[in-house]
Amino acid sequence: MSATFVVALLALTGSIFATPIEIQMRTGLHCGDIGPYAPINDIRTCIDYLKRNGNEDCVVGPGKGGFCMSGKGLIVGSGFGRTKCQNIAAAAEAILGNCTTVEQYVGGTSSVGGNDNVMVTVRHP
């Protein structure tokens, strides 16, 4: 498995960050509207990575929020604050469980349980 993982991913800018009002409007789980979908196996690799780092903090905010990139799969966060990486993995799993196409691609956005200030997006980079 030669996946590239990036915890402080790239130089994320612009639309990846949301204001608190935008976050309030987007809470919950939503499929699509995030750009191209990602192959589920690449997202599963990222979910496994986040689970292995479960008790570490995953932070979102200016300059932060890229949690994992593997192949053609990307898990990013928006909003502000911090949560355990296992919570990011759980939100990504919820997206995987609800937003997978018959072609085995996945894409969507979900709030993190217990912290609506952090949104998780699963998509193609």
User: Domains in the chain, please, with CATH?
Assistant: 14-123 (3.30.430)
Non-local (6+) Cβ contacts of 120 within 8 A are 67, 75, 76, 77, 88, 91, 92, 95, 109, 110, 111, 112
Instruction: Quickly state the pLDDT bin for 27 (edges 50, 70, 90).
Output: low
Tell me the per-residue pLDDT of 35-93, one tens digit each, with 9 for 90 and over. 899 999 999 999 999 999 989 999 887 767 889 999 999 999 988 888 999 999 999 99
Q: Where is average pLDDT lowest: 69-73, 95-99, 113-117, 121-125?
A: 113-117
Which H helix or E strand runs over 40?
helix 40-52
Q: Which residue has the higher pLDDT, 115 or 91?
A: 91
pLDDT (0 to 100) of residue 19: 42
